[in-house]
Chains A and B, each alone.
Chain A
Amino acid sequence: AQSVTQPDIHITVSEGASLELRCNYSYGATPYLFWYVQSPGQGLQLLLKYFSGDTLVQGIKGFEAEFKRSQSSFNLRKPSVHWSDAAEYFCAVGSSGTYKYIFGTGTRLKVLA
């Protein structure tokens, strides 16, 4: 069955520290992979996406993610977290020829000053 797992429900980091949010997927076809961010009371905003090619993708707000096929992972990283990065982050997966995403359950990030 197709699925997306975000194993960390909550993560707390200090401002200026590095960040890695984990995402593992189970998908039969070649996946399209996405990371979205949701600030409190807001809709979701796309951070970055991977379709093919270079496995390290750059996104907005200084985020990057690396696709590792052998590990079925698409982890999100940021070298130095800012207080404004506090939000909930969702990993999503889909495949070519469909219109459906599967979203992970989200990771809520708290940033300590």
Chain B
Amino acid sequence: NAGVTQTPKFQVLKTGQSMTLQCAQDMNHNSMYWYRQDPGMGLRLIYYSASEGTTDKGEVPNGYNVSRLNKREFSLRLESAAPSQTSVYFCASSEGGLAGRQFFGPGTRLTVL
């Protein structure tokens, strides 16, 4: 039981490049989330998926797109990376809504030059 896994762990991009961050969970959870963590800002929700087939914007969705590929996988795409997207990205999953605790992946550290 791996929990929530994220790939890659580290990534360096140049401005304007695109990339996809991958997230998978093996706990059969309905809900999945993408956060970014910046110094002094805590965690901010980018997008979430309440259940398979649905996605919704969070607090800071601009510049990102997501895909809930199936119940296990939830990917985050940066179409044209900007230095302001330099951050640590966390994926999380939960059984359903806020009643279920969120389980976090180990994070992806992204630097955009």
Contacts and interface: CB of A to CB of B under 8 A. Distances in A.
Contacts of A44: 43, 90, 92, 102, 104
Interface string B42-75: 1111001010000010110000000000000000
A96 interface: yes
Interface residues of A, number: 26
A95 to B, nearest CB: 7
A58 B40 CA distance: 28
A89 B90 CA distance: 16
Contact of B42 (A32, A98, A99, A104): A104
Interface in A66-113: 90, 92, 94-101, 103-106
A41 B88 CA distance: 10
B98 A94 contact: yes
A46 interface: yes
A43 B42 CA distance: 13
Interface residues of B, number: 26
Interface in A50-65: 51
A43 B104 contact: yes
Contacts of B41: 105
Contact of B101 (A49, A103, A106): A49
B31 to A, nearest CB: 6
A103 B50 contact: no
B101 A100 contact: no
Given A43-B90, A44-B104, A98 B43 contact: no
A51 B86 CA distance: 35
